[in-house]
A and B are shown apart, each in its own frame.
Chain A
Amino acid sequence: MFMWIIKRDLLLAVRRQSDVLTTLFFFIIVVSLFPLSVGPEMNMLRTMAPGVVWVAALLASMLSLGRMFSNDYLDGTLEQMLLSPQSLSLLVLGKAFAHWLVTGVPLVLMAPVLGIQYDLPAEALLVLTSALLLGTPVLSLIGAIGAALTLGLRGGGVLVSLLVLPLYIPVLIFGSGAVEANMSGVEFSAHLSLIGAFLLVTAVFAPWAAAWSLRVSLE
């Protein structure tokens, strides 16, 4: 069941590659704009790198949130999911996982390459990538709640950013904090552990909250 929904969403992503690629290219372009605009001052670039990469990741992940449920809502497949004998929370977890595979994983893979633009040392690149690996699923999970709440509303795209971006702040702080800590020679594992804790908490509560909002949205 869980596997079927992931399989379905991945199949759809393969059939509609433009959706995946626009998110990835958005991320690449936003991250690349900063070194071009602030100039080749190495020290400054190094200090701003973690923040820029994380903010770009947040925006990129949010860009695709609108599509998470709205297409299924329009063609009636969401209705059928709500009527499935399986738990809706599990389905939502599957959809969030598929969303992460499609939008989060490419960002994680691109991050080390983009980090080179900012002259990040190898170890900092590793920390950045692992922080993103732990943090991007949290973005998809929290985003699922926002997408479910704004389903079928006019101007839902803007509303979802207002709802979801403030909730992303803790991940942003600890995500970029981990890289900064590593670069200033401080222990960074606490930051990563905290993001891991966020991941666990959201994995339990976000699908439940999103499932509940979906039932309300479709009533």
Chain B
Amino acid sequence: MLHGINLACVRGDRELFRDVNFSLEAGGLMQVRGPNGSGKTSLLRMLCGLSNPAAGEIRWGDAPIRALDGEYYAAMTYIGHLSGTKDDLTVIENLCISSALAGFEIEAGQAKEALNHIGLRGREALPVKVLSQGQRRRVALARLLVCKTPLWILDEPLVALDVLAVKLIQELLERHLKEGGMVVMTTHQEIDITATSTTQLHLA
């Protein structure tokens, strides 16, 4: 489904990586590993179409993602370093609005259920600015529960999460993979996720 062909990334006059090839099929998990500054986030931003690779091509199915545009975005959820939540909006408003912008209009009940599941019961009406880092992360990750897209691109999803939340996300990812979804993620934490096929991509 998702293929990277001879990808290269250049930042300034420094080449971060070149000739990166991978291919991810339904049910597949790809973990991108590498030291700080090796281009993990740059690769993920390329995969979701925010930036262009210096060389090579990314294909979704048979078409390059640039050509698919909206069709690709409808099939993908990206959660980056930035939480993508508004400080002045409440937790539930944030979830409803961000999923509506992603093309999934949800009812308040559905949003509440997702927030309960992710461990934010009773915090729905609080503005995000009063939440802790870990709780903000949970608000961002709650999008995964309501946006039913096949491809998830997650940049350090486990940062700032406690042990229970890490377990929760692990289960969430396993269920998604079992249902035929795809996950591309970076993490520095050791985490065991069972998937039909796991690819490790090492960036030097």
Binding site for B on A (CB under 8 A): 1, 4-5, 7-8, 11-12, 15-16, 74-77, 79-87, 91, 218-219
Contact = CB atoms under 8 A, between A and B. Distances in A.
B12 interface: no
A26 to B, nearest CB: 22
Interface in B65-90: 70-71, 73-74, 76, 78, 80-89
A4 B105 CA distance: 10
Main secondary structure of the interface of B (DSSP, over half): loop
B48 A12 contact: no
Interface stretch (B24-32, B49-57, B113-121, B170-178): B49-57
Given A11-B89, A15-B88, A219-B51, A79 B103 contact: no
B194 interface: no
Given A83-B48, A83-B78, A77 B86 contact: yes
Given A15-B89, A85-B74, A75 B84 contact: yes
A15 to B, nearest CB: 4
B73 A79 contact: no
Contact of A83 (B49, B83, B85, B97): B49
Given A4-B101, A8-B97, A12-B89, 7 more contacts: A8-B86, A8-B89, A12-B88, A76-B81, A79-B80, A84-B101, A219-B50
Contact of A79 (B50, B71, B97): B50
A86 B52 contact: no
B50 A218 contact: yes
A28 to B, nearest CB: 25
B51 A80 contact: no
A12 B86 contact: yes
Contacts of B82: 74-76, 79
B101 A5 contact: yes
B85 A84 contact: no
A85 B84 contact: no
A16 B88 contact: yes
B50 A1 contact: no
B52 A75 contact: no
Given A12-B88, A16-B88, A76-B82, A87 B70 contact: yes
B73 to A, nearest CB: 4
Nearest to B74: A85
B102 A84 contact: yes
A2 B49 CA distance: 22
Contacts of A8: 86, 89, 97
Contacts of A12: 86, 88-89
B63 interface: no
Contacts of A74: 82
A76 B83 contact: yes
Contacts of A75: 82-87
Contact of B98 (A1, A16, A80): A80
Given A85-B71, A87-B70, A80 B50 contact: no
A218 B45 CA distance: 10
Contacts of A218: 50-51
Nearest to A81: B101
B131 interface: no
B12 to A, nearest CB: 14
3 residue pairs, one from A and one from B, having the closest CB atoms: A76-B82, A85-B74, A76-B84
A16 B74 CA distance: 32
Contact of A85 (B73, B78, B83): B73
B74 to A, nearest CB: 4
24 contacts: A4-B101, A7-B97, A11-B89, A12-B86, A15-B127, A74-B82, A75-B82, A76-B82, A76-B84, A76-B85, A79-B82, A80-B78, A80-B84, A80-B98, A82-B50, A83-B48, A83-B76, A83-B78, A84-B102, A85-B70, A86-B101, A87-B70, A91-B101, A219-B51
